[in-house]
Each structure stands twice: as structure tokens, then as C-alpha cells.
Structure 1
Amino acid sequence: MAFQVSLVLLAFAANSLLCRWALDVHQFDPAVFSLVRLLSGALTLTVLMLLTRQRSAAAPAPAMQSIKYRLQQKRFWLLGAGLGTYVLGFSWAYTQLDTGVGAFILFATVQLAMQVASFIQGGRLTRLQWSGVVISLLGLAGLLLPGGSAPAPLAAALMFIAALGWTAFVLMAKASGKALEDVQQAFVAASLLVIPLFPWLLDEWLHWSPMPWLLALLSGSVASGLGYFLWYRILPALGVHRAAQLQLLVPVIAVMMGVVILAETLAVQALFAMVVIIAGVMLSTFVKKRA
């Protein structure tokens, strides 16, 4: 389980890095990035699902019958709406917000929304665990907010909505009996919801070098598609509270990846904040509840 969690967190951090690389460094269009990300994720997961079914002894259902059945399912569109809201809202807000401020709004909102959901579902934390939650959020603020400018209200609202979309997508994993199928459906449904943007993006397709396209493809097929599939597989065993806390490690890993890959500098204050985040996550995640 620890190895799988580590892979998921690395994939999430890689997504943050790839997005920053494409949108900030190459000034890639956020709508194009989102569409390529969703389509490449849908294609990768569809191929993986077909290969898995070929190895299965059970005969697959006819293609048209399967497609018609899915389009009629409420869960199919809910998965797509949650994922699509996150991907679109994140990409658009990212270009309008200071990177640290945007990431803080995203991760703090997800953390609080998932803790509320856990509480509603019957999860109860000890005072020590709540202390860990608060400590990790303070560390997150110390890592992401210094030097950031006040966010534009619309961009902040978009990032907040994106966080709620991601929260809804993650919470639906608890009822997932087939992780690969659910995540594949989420990417396909989200792609169908976003494809109407295509006509407005035709003029944008030839304005960039191949590099940002490659970054978007990697983000969609590997960091998002395969990363989210693995996340859906392990989340029911983790539980909502632990999943929410572990996600706060993503900014820490993303900062370290930025230092190694993009040659970004790491201030002493940022290093201290990362230690605080890790301490808070460990305190809240690994402390056992009293019987």
C-alpha cells in the first residue's frame, strides 16, 4: 500500500509540474491543455481496459450496447462532471493566479471539504488528529502563500470550484467496485462534456512548439489517467480522512521536483514549511484512534 500511495503522490506532483511547465513556461492555452489532457487520458485508459478485457475469460458485451448503457447511467455523467470541472477550472484559474496562492486555495479547499465529508459519513477524529490537520494546513500556508499577491475574485472562485470538482470525483471512489472502468468513464464523459469547446480552439492548435503538446499528453495519459486509476484503486482502503491528509504531501513533492527538474530555488522558509506539513500529516494520519 505504501508503494502505491507513493506512486500516486508522485503522479499528482508530476501533474502540477507538467501543468506549470506548459502553461507558465510555454504559455500554452489552458483550454487546449485541458482538452488534450482529457482526451489522452481517455484513450490511454480505454486501451488499457480493452487489453484487460482480452485477458479476461468473460466475453465482453457488444460495443454499441455498452456505449448506450453507459450514456444512460447517471454515475457516468457525474464522474465526468466532477473530473471535467476540476481539470477546466484548475487550468483556467492557474493562469490568472499566483502559483502558490492558487495551489493553496486548491489543496486547502480539498482538505476541508473532504474532512467535512468524512465527518458527515461518521468519521470522528481525536484532538491529536485534528491538531495534525491544523498543523499541516499552517505548513501549507507557509509553503505556498509567502510572496503571493492577492487573488482576483473570479480566478479564486474558479480554483475553489475546481477543488470541489476534484473532491466530488475522489469521494465517488468509495463506491467504486471497478476502478479502471470508473476512471475510464470519467475521462470519456469529461471529454464529451468539453469537446463542444473544440470549434473555438481551432485557431490555437498551430501556435506552439511540440514541447507543450508533449507535456499535455504526458499529463493526460500518465500522470492523470494512470495516476487517477491507481488512486481509485487504493482510496477505499485509505478512507476519506487519510486520503485528504496524504494529498497535502503533493505540494511538497512538487516543490522538490521543481528544484530538480526546473532548477527552481528552495528557500529555508519553504524547507521549514515542508517539514511542518510532513509532521502534521504524520500526526493526523498515523495516530490511532482510541477504542
Structure 2
Amino acid sequence: MSAIRLALLTLVTMLCFAGNSVLCRLALRQTSIDAASFTTVRLVSGALMLVLLVYGRHHFRGVVSVASGRMNGLGGNWLSALALFVYAAAFSFAYHKLSTGIGALLLFGAVQATMILTGLWLGERLNTRQVIGLLLALAGLVTILSPSLEAPPLGSALLMLASGVAWGVYSLRGRGVADPTGETAGNFLRAALMSALLSGVLLAQQQLDTLGLLYAMLSGAVTSGLGYAIWYAVVPRLTRTRAATVQLSVPVLAALAGVLFVQEPITLRLLLTSAAVLGGIALVVLNKHTAV
């Protein structure tokens, strides 16, 4: 793969990741679809897209068996699927009241914090520069949540943090798998079943909207399904340092997209806290993997 093609595919993937935040925010702000239905449609659409990709790769052979979790090239497990479901559901419910940029920043910060703190729990050690970076990032997250006129609703913010932790857990559980796309396809199928159960429990609150359903399908099939598939094709060709640092662009891209498509303002608070969180994480991951 040429350097130009690799750079373009990486950019496309980051745009897809940011697009998930934008599409969810658009659906929940500008249409009447409920968060549970958005989650279910997103996961079902993502599962269908990923299964089609797996089928195409295996020449359309194999029979799906969600119970056993196996098809030709399709795997996954229920624990990882639960983490995926918690991520997607908390993500949708949080975006009812969060701006696109703040939501993406909280999500990204929680994902990275989960992975960094897990490394510490497993015995990794940070040097002085990394400790300063971690404290700076945590201070930025605390500042976001501190009471003020611009502070996001605490309940929604905590939901997004939970979503980020769940995605971090999902990412950690998926490290080193031989076929990430096949594993993700199986996990999406299982998570879609869980989300369908949630929609059934909340059936009385269900509100469907044509445009909202379209946003959910785009989020599932394109920015999630295709986005993850492209990312897994790109990641093996990136060093761990680059793979970690390019993701620093996602909250920035999401905030800019929020301005363009959702007419959300970029405040001084968002700029300062973003600089603290993203800069702090950069100090940790850049130094952590300099030898890679």
C-alpha cells in the first residue's frame, strides 16, 4: 500500500469515527427517533454490512450461527458483544443532551484513559513526562464536568464516559485477534440482539422517524461497519504511536462537523479543555511508544 493511499484511508477512517458522533447528534436533535431505536438500527445495519464483507471475502459460503458464534470467518463472543452494546447504547442516550464536540472529547478521553490505566494495572510504568500528561488529561476531563454555564448535563456526560470505558474494554479484548473484521461482525450480531431486547423493554417510548432511521443506518453501515473494516486494514500498516495519535484528530473533526452540520458553537471552554485532554494524552502515548 502506497504512503498516499495509506494516508487517505486513515483520513477516511477518522472521518467515519467523527461521523458517528455527528449522525447520532443530528438524529436525536433534528428528528424524533428515540435513542434505543437509533442504537438498534445502527447495530443491525453495522452487523449486516460486516457480515456481507465477511461473506464476500469467503465467497458467500457458510451458515450464520449466532448461538455458536461461528461462520466461515465470523467469530466474536458474548462478553465483547456486551461491551460493544454498552458503548453503543450509552453513546446514543448521552447524545440527547451533549454537543457533538464535547461528546466526542469525553468519549475519546475515556477510551484512552481506560487503556492507559489498564496498562498501569498490568504493571506498566510511566515516566515523569507521561505522569504530567495523564494528570493534564484528567484535569481537562474534570474541568469539562465542573459546574458552570457551559458545563454539559452531568447524567449525559457520565453516560458518555461509560460509553468510552466500554469501548476501551472492547478494544482491549480485541487486541491480537487474527481476524478483527470477522470478530467485529460476530460481536455486532450479538450486540444487535441485546439492543433489540432494550428496544422491546422501552417499546412504550419508541418513536420512529424516516430521516432518523436513515441517519442510524448510515451510522451503522457506513461510519461504523465500513469505517471499522477500513481501520482494521490500515492499523497493521501503522506503528502503535501513529495509530494512537491519529485518533487525537477525532474529537477535533467531530467538533468542526458539529459547527458545520448541527450549528453548534465552538466555545473557549471546549478549546481549552480539548487542548488539555488531547495534549495530555499525546504526552503519554507519544512517549510511551517512541521505540515502536
State the Cα deviation string for residues 234-254 of structure 1 (Å, max 9, x = none).
567655x87666545422211
| Residue 26 of structure 1, CA deviation | 1.8
Letter in 1 for 2:187: A
**2: CA distance between counterparts of 1:157 and 1:262?**
22
| Residue 123 of structure 1, CA deviation | 3.5
**1: CA distance between counterparts of 2:255 and 2:268?**
13
- 8 Å Cα contact 2:32-2:208 kept in structure 1: no
Counterparts of 1:160-239 in structure 2 under 5 Å? 160-199=161-200, 207-208=208-209, 210-233=210-233, 239=240
| Residue 150 of structure 1, CA deviation | 5.1
Task: Specify every segment of 5 or more residues in structure 1 that has no aligned partner in the other structure, as ranges.
Answer: none
Task: Specify every segment of 5 or more residues in structure 2 that has no aligned partner in the other structure, as ranges.
Answer: 1-5
Determine whether 1:258 maps to 2:261: no
**2: CA distance between counterparts of 1:163 and 1:225?**
18
Residue 136 to residue 213, structure 1, CA distance change in 2 (3 Å): same
State the Cα deviation string for residues 220-241 of structure 1 (Å, max 9, x = none).
11111122334445567655x8
Determine whether 1:81 maps to 2:86: no
State the Cα deviation string for residues 180-235 of structure 1 (Å, max 9, x = none).
10110111111122222454566777742x22111111111111112233444556
| Residue 276 of structure 1, CA deviation | 4.8
Residue 144 to residue 265, structure 1, CA distance change in 2 (3 Å): farther
Question: What residue number does 2:41 align with?
Answer: 36
- 8 Å Cα contact 2:66-2:186 kept in structure 1: no
More helix by percentage: 1
Determine whether 1:151 maps to 2:150: no
- 8 Å Cα contact 1:131-1:280 kept in structure 2: yes
| Residue 280 of structure 1, CA deviation | 3.7
Letter in 1 for 2:132: S
State the Cα deviation string for residues 103-156 of structure 1 (Å, max 9, x = none).
55544432322111122344433322333333345456667876025514xx55
Residue 75 to residue 199, structure 1, CA distance change in 2 (3 Å): closer
TM-score by length of 2: 0.77
Secondary structure at the residue paired with 1:148? coil
- 8 Å Cα contact 1:37-1:220 kept in structure 2: yes
Secondary structure at the residue paired with 2:59? helix
Residue 107 to residue 68, structure 1, CA distance change in 2 (3 Å): closer
**2: CA distance between counterparts of 1:267 and 1:198?**
35
Counterparts of 1:40-55 in structure 2 under 5 Å? 40-54=45-59
Residue 229 to residue 123, structure 1, CA distance change in 2 (3 Å): farther
Letter in 2 for 1:229: A
Determine whether 1:70 maps to 2:75: no
Secondary structure at the residue paired with 1:256? helix
- 8 Å Cα contact 2:97-2:153 kept in structure 1: no
| CA RMSD between the two structures | 3.7
- 8 Å Cα contact 1:249-1:277 kept in structure 2: no
Letter in 2 for 1:49: V
- 8 Å Cα contact 1:37-1:217 kept in structure 2: yes
TM-score by length of 1: 0.77
Residue 203 to residue 133, structure 1, CA distance change in 2 (3 Å): same
**2: CA distance between counterparts of 1:176 and 1:215?**
30
Question: What residue number does 2:18 align with?
Answer: 13
**1: CA distance between counterparts of 2:175 and 2:42?**
24
Secondary structure at the residue paired with 1:175? coil
Residue 33 to residue 285, structure 1, CA distance change in 2 (3 Å): same
**2: CA distance between counterparts of 1:290 and 1:15?**
32
State the Cα deviation string for residues 149-175 of structure 1 (Å, max 9, x = none).
5514xx555444333321221112213
Of 5-14 and 43-52, deviating more is: 5-14
Determine whether 1:286 maps to 2:291: no
**1: CA distance between counterparts of 2:201 and 2:174?**
33
